[in-house]
Structure 1
Amino acid sequence: MRIAVLDDYQHAAHRFADWDGLGADVRFHAEHIADPTALAAALAGCDVVVAMRERTPFTAEVLDLLPDLRLLVTTGRANASIDLDAARARGVVVCGTDSPSSATPELTWALILAVARHVPQEDARLRAGGWQHTIGTDLAGRTLGVVGLGRIGARVARIGAAFGMDVVAWSANLDPAAAAEAGVRAVPKEELFATSDVVTVHYKLSARSVGIVGRDDLALMRPTAFLVNTSRGPLVDTGALLEALHAGRIGGAGLDVYDVEPLPAGHPLRSAPRTVLTPHLGYVTEDTYATFFAQAVEDIAAWAAGSPVRVLG
C-alpha cells in the first residue's frame, strides 16, 4: 500500500501518529502542489491520500487524474474541497477525523487582541528601538458581533462575554431563543454590522454564503470597528475589504483565511494597512494535529481491514 500525506507544511505529520505500524510506503509532501497535473504526477500509484483540511481540492477533474486512488482521508468531519459524489462514483472511499473545538476560537481571540492593542506594530517598533507609538482599544463594554453562532461562534461568544462585552449574533436561520440560551442577543444583520465594535466571522462556506460579508455590510461598520475572519476566506468580499481598509472606513482587520491559499506573495492583503495576518493557523495546534493524524492512521487501518470508519457522505 502506498500512502501520500499532503500539505505537511511544518514537516510534522510523521511525529503525530504511528505511520510505520501501517506497514506501507508513506510519503510526506511538505510543499503545496496546486497544479492538477503536477499533483497527479506526485500521487501516481498511490492507493491512499491524506488531505489536510481544504488545502488541496479534489474535484471530479482531479479525481479523474488519480486512477489508483481508493481511499481519501481528510482531517476534520467535512471538506468542501472534496467532491464526495464524484469520489463515490469512482469507487473512492472518503473518511474524516474528529476536530477539537478549542483551537480556532483561541486564535480568533489572539487576532482580536492583536488588532485591538496593535501588538504586531508595537513589537516591530520596540525591536527597532522605539517605544509606545499606538493607543489601544478597550474591549470591556464594547459590542462583539458574531456572524454565525455555531459550535465555534458560540465558543467565541462566551469568551467575549468573559471580557465584559455585549455579544450579539446573526445568521440566516438563527433562532433568537437558542441565541438567548447561549447568552447572546440575536439581531438583524444590518444592526450587527452597524453597532458592533468587533465583527467576527464563523460561518459555514457554501455556494449561498460566498461573499456573505460584502461591500454593503462593511459600509455599515464604524470607522473604529474591525473585522476578524478565521472561518473561510470567500465568506468576505476581499476587494471590498481592501477598499474599506485603504479608505479608512473600518478600523482594521485580523485575517487567518484567504480566497487563495497559500496567499500569493504579491497579494494586496500582504501590504494592506491596519491588518494582522496569520497563515490559516486556526486549527494548527499540537492537540488538533494529534487528533487529525492519529485518526487518519486509524481510518487507513480500518479501511485496509475492510471495515472503514468515519466515512463521509
Structure 2
Amino acid sequence: MTPRCAVLDDYQGVARSLADWSPLDGRVDVRTLRRPFASEDEVVEAIGDCEIVVAMRERTPFPASLLARLPRLRLLITSGMRNAAIDLAAAARHGVTVCGTASNTEPPVELTWALILGLARSVATESAAMRAGGPWQSTLGADLYGRRLGLLGLGKIGARVARVGLAFGMDVVAWSRNLTAERAAEVGVRAAASKEELLETSDFVSVHLVLGDRTRGLIGAPELARMRRTAYLVNTSRAAIVDQSALLDALREERIAGAGLDVFAQEPLPADHPLRTLPNVLALPHLGYVTRRNYEGYFQQAVEDIVAFLEGKPVRELG
C-alpha cells in the first residue's frame, strides 16, 4: 500500500509549487492541508491515516497525547532544525522519526526591522489615513539615529539585527544570561550590565531569545514597568517570553509607547483579540520566516527527507 503524506498548514497554498515533488511520484500519496486545526481531534481526523507528516514550524503542535493517537505515523518533518511544539521523547517512544530542514536567519531579521521602522514612523496609521482620505500628516516620527536599541539575545538573529541598528547610527546594547563582553564586542555592541539596565535605558527593546524554562515569562509586569513610556517593545521570537497579560495592561494604559508583534500565545490570533485593534500595536500574523526562499528550502528538503527515509537512511534527524 502506498504510504500517505500530509503537508500541514500550507496557508498560502504554495507547498506543491515551491519544490520538486516528482521524486515521490508513485511512491507516496501526498496531500496538502491549508487551514489550521481547532482541536487535537481535528488533527487525528485529518491525518490519522498518514505515515508521513510535513509540519510548518510550530503551527500544529505534536505533544505526547497527539502522537499516541497517530499509530500509523512513522516520519514527522518540521521546517527548521528546532521545534518546541514536538515532543521528541514521545515521538521516539512511538517509533516516529523526526527530521528537519535548514532555515535562513535573514528573513526574521528583516521583519524585525519592518516592525521597528513601522512603529517609529507610524507607517500603518499614516497609510490607513491616506487610503481613507484622512488627515495629511497626523503623527510625529520617533528617531532611530542616536537612540538606544536594546537586544534581548545576541545569537545569529540578534547579531544581524544589531548590525542594522549600528548602520542606522543607533547605540546598541545587548543582554542575555550567558552573554559576555567579548561576544558583544565581536558584534560591535556593548553588553548591558543587567536586563534591568537595558530595559530602563533603551528606546527600542527587541526580543531574540530561544524559548525555554529560563526565558519563559522573562518580561513580565515588573520588567515592563522599567521601560520608558516613550519606548517600544518588539517581539519576533516567541510570545511566551513576554507575559501576554502584563503586555496588554501596559499597552492599554500606555505605560510604553507601543509594541511590534509577530508572535502570539494563540495562533491564529482570535478575531476579537484586543491585540488586533489596540492603536499602539503593530501586529503581523507570524511572518518572520515566511519568505519564498525559506519556503523553497523547507519544502525541497522535506522531499529529500522523505526520499532518504524511504531508502532507510534518514537525514537531518532531530533529537
TM-score, reference length from structure 2: 0.97
Q: What is the aligned partner in structure 1 of residue 295 from structure 2?
A: 289
Q: What is the aligned partner in structure 1 of residue 115 from structure 2?
A: 111
The question of 1:86 aligning with 2:90 is answered yes
Greater alpha carbon shift after TM alignment, 13-22 vs 199-208: 13-22
- Counterpart of 2:304 (choices 273, 298, 302) is 298
Task: Look up the SS of the partner of 2:222 in the other structure.
Answer: helix
Q: Is the 8 A contact 2:172 2:189 kept in 1?
A: yes
Q: What is the aligned partner in structure 2 of residue 30 from structure 1?
A: 34
**Residue 102 of structure 1, CA deviation:** 0.4
Greater alpha carbon shift after TM alignment, 11-20 vs 41-50: 11-20
Q: What is the aligned partner in structure 2 of residue 310 from structure 1?
A: 316
**Residue 242 of structure 1, CA deviation:** 1.0
Identity of aligned residues (%): 58
Aligned length: 313
Q: Is the 8 A contact 1:242 1:272 kept in 2?
A: no
**Residue 38 of structure 1, CA deviation:** 1.2
- Counterpart of 1:10 (choices 2, 5, 12) is 12
Q: Is the 8 A contact 1:204 1:231 kept in 2?
A: yes
Q: What is the aligned partner in structure 1 of residue 158 from structure 2?
A: 153
- Distance, in Å, in 1 between the alignment partners of 2:304 and 2:38 is 27
Deviations 1:205-251 (A, max 9, x none): 11221111111111111111100000011111111111111111111
The aligned runs of 1:251-270 (5 Å cut-off) are 251-270=257-276
**Residue 90 of structure 1, CA deviation:** 0.7
- Distance, in Å, in 2 between the alignment partners of 1:64 and 1:18 is 32
Question: Once superposed, what is the RMSD of the aligned Cα atoms?
Answer: 0.8
- Distance, in Å, in 2 between the alignment partners of 1:260 and 1:8 is 18
The question of 1:229 aligning with 2:235 is answered yes
The question of 1:21 aligning with 2:23 is answered yes
- Distance, in Å, in 2 between the alignment partners of 1:190 and 1:29 is 44
The question of 1:52 aligning with 2:56 is answered yes
Task: Look up the SS of the partner of 1:154 in the other structure.
Answer: helix
Question: What are the ranges of 5 or more consecutive residues in structure 2 without an aligned counterpart?
Answer: none
- Counterpart of 1:162 (choices 164, 167, 181) is 167
- Distance, in Å, in 1 between the alignment partners of 2:277 and 2:221 is 20
Deviations 1:259-288 (A, max 9, x none): 111111111211223110000000000110
**Residue 33 of structure 1, CA deviation:** 1.0
- Distance, in Å, in 2 between the alignment partners of 1:16 and 1:276 is 29
- Distance, in Å, in 2 between the alignment partners of 1:11 and 1:289 is 11
- Distance, in Å, in 2 between the alignment partners of 1:180 and 1:22 is 48
Deviations 1:58-117 (A, max 9, x none): 011000110000000000010000000000111100000000110000000000000000
